Amino acid sequence: MVTAPVWNTGLDAFLAATSSINAKKIFKPSPDAYSFIEPSLKVKPADVLFVWSNPWEAIGAKAVELKVAWIERATPKAIRSSEMQATDRQLREV
């Protein structure tokens, strides 16, 4: 599910890895949905930048100590969180 959009947009050239929890049938924002990161990517969660556009998933990722970049697909008036490492407007700086 994640791979096609990443390839179609050309983002694969900028990412070290992508991963999906769909096969596990555990869904975000459950903390268990993020538990596969360390064994599958061989990195600590705190060393991962979780990039997503749904605020509840970004909040769930932040709760398990992932770095988070929330890509805001809403209006400029959408809720912003000062705890996120980056939004889409700041990704070039991350």
Q: Which two tokens stand for residue 53?
A: 């556009």
**In the prediction, which pLDDT does 1 show?**
54
Distance CA 25, CA 88 (A): 28
pLDDT, tens digit (0-9, with 9 covering 90-100), for 42-85: 888 889 888 888 888 888 888 888 999 877 665 555 555 555 55
Q: Residue ranges per domain, the chain?
A: 26-93
Q: Which two tokens stand for residue 29?
A: 């924002």
pTM, two decimals, is 0.59
Q: Which helix (H) or strand (E) holds 3?
A: helix 3-9
Into which CATH architecture does domain 26-93 fall? 3-Layer(aba) Sandwich (3.40)
Other beta carbons within 10 angstroms of residue 36's beta carbon come to 15
Give me the phi and psi of 50, to 5 degrees please.
-90, 120
